[in-house]
Structure 1
Amino acid sequence: MLSSNRPLNATRPCSSATHGGFEYLTQALEFVATGTVTPMVETYPLANAADAYERVASGAVRSRAVITY
């Protein structure tokens, strides 16, 4: 179980929509951490950020677009 005593971004940055609140986000992160669910993402290197933006804007991205750096 995730500890609420340490920040969620203790090891990696994390951002999320605000609906559902902290409890919902904590539960969702726990599902990912235990392998119950696998996040669906398309990753793009920072050099291809414009391509990622165009795919999101056109609706071609089916899940989440993540820029890596």
Structure 2
Amino acid sequence: MNVVLGLVSALSAGTSDFLGGLGSRHGPALVVTAVSQGIGCVVAVLIALVAGGEPTAADLWWGSVAGIG
């Protein structure tokens, strides 16, 4: 499982780097940033919905602290 997660991580990082560079050549950096953050948010919500589960208070606390930095 570790190998699969590592490959998925490398694939997503490489793809986002390539598409970010491609997008920044054709549009303003602010637009590219806003679109990439929007897509990332949608993907994260979809993964959370598919994974299921109930977040605990500690989960919400650590998530909010991570969002600050």
Q: TM-score, normalising length from structure 1?
A: 0.28
Q: Which has the higher strand share?
A: 1
Q: TM-score, normalising length from structure 2?
A: 0.28
Larger Rg: 2
Q: Which has the higher helix share?
A: 2
